[in-house]
Amino acid sequence: MSLVLQPQATFVVVRQIANHTDTATYYVRAVVRNAYTDTVITNLDLEDKGSQRFKKNWHVPADPSGQGFYISIVTSVYTDSGYTTKSENYGDEENTYLIQERVLGSQKVGGGGGVDARTVRRIISEEIAKIEVKPEKEVEPEMEEDDDPRVDELITEVQRLRNAVEQLPKEPVTLSPVLARLNDVIQAVEDKEVTPPTDIEALGVVFDSKLNEFLLELEQTRAELLTTITDVGDTFNTNMKTAVVEAVTEATPNAMKGASFSVPMQLNPPQQEKKQEPAFNINQLAR
């Protein structure tokens, strides 16, 4: 049987860690949901009261329907103050509660024609129906460990876009000036005289003529350059020969003045000695 919570009353959410010998530091968070729609009503970060006991006072919401509704409170144990890493030693604990108006003892009427709980519930429902109840702002659900962190960035960008849209002027936008300006541009384009196409063929003829003239001048320049080079070479050879002859002619007399020559001369050539003939032996005639 579910515990009945009185609307608009204070309820204490409690979580006691089962292992009393565990002295590690933990953090406990409670997530309160509408048990039927699974919508998160609020997140409660429980306070450490020592001895591994955690608690938080919570203001129970109203029951606009008057018929009551169920809520689910799940408490989880974390190892960090940012509530991002759950403890491997302790699982989640869930409890279900019924939020519904109760008839307290002081409201009971003694003797005979007392008002029963159903009548009280009906009267309260009728009175509540007359009151415009603003829906409570829903708290964003807790991000699980495996949620993509880019979801928060997407939500932020969507909110920024929503704010920008809300700041746009509410007056209807008229496009008449824009359309009129576009019509003027179109008319100006239609009235503009079309430039005739360029005669490419005539341009090619002129180019060929100029190219031929340039080549002819280049050939004439080449011939003149060769002639000039030949003339310069001939002039250089002639001038060089003349300069050498003049230099030799001018230097010869001066060189001869200080020159001395030694020529060996023999007026009487040496006479060769005559061979002496052996004496004639007359005895050889007798043989």
- Say which CATH number the domain at 21 has: 2.60.40.10
Q: What's the number of domains the chain is made of?
A: 2
Provide the pairing of β-strand 3-5 with 93-99: parallel
Domain membership flag for residue 287 = no
Domain membership flag for residue 190 = no
Average the pLDDT over 9-29 and give the result: 94
Give per-residue pLDDT as tens, 194-252.
777 666 777 777 778 888 888 888 888 888 888 888 877 777 777 777 777 777 677 76
Domain membership flag for residue 44 = yes
Give per-residue pLDDT as tens, 127-152.
777 676 566 666 565 655 556 667 77
How far apart are the C-alpha atoms of 96 and 90, rounded to whole Å? 19
Give per-residue pLDDT as tens, 55-106.
999 999 998 888 899 999 999 999 999 999 999 999 999 999 999 987 655 5
Q: What backbone phi and psi angles, to 5 degrees, belong to 262?
A: -120, 110
How far apart are the C-alpha atoms of 97 and 206, rounded to whole Å? 101
Domain membership flag for residue 19 = yes
Q: What is the torsion angle, in degrees rounded to the nearest 10, for the CA atoms of residue 29, residue 33, residue 38 and residue 40?
A: -70
Q: What is the pLDDT of residue 224?
A: 84
Q: Are residues 113 and 39 in the same domain?
A: yes
Domain membership flag for residue 77 = yes
Q: Are residues 102 and 226 in the same domain?
A: no
Q: Of 130, 155, 180, at which residue does a domain stop?
A: 155
Q: Are residues 130 and 214 in the same domain?
A: no
3-state secondary structure of 62: coil
> What are residue 47's DSSP bridge partners?
55
Domain membership flag for residue 285 = no
Q: Are residues 144 and 25 in the same domain?
A: yes
Q: Residue 93 sits in which domain range?
A: 3-155
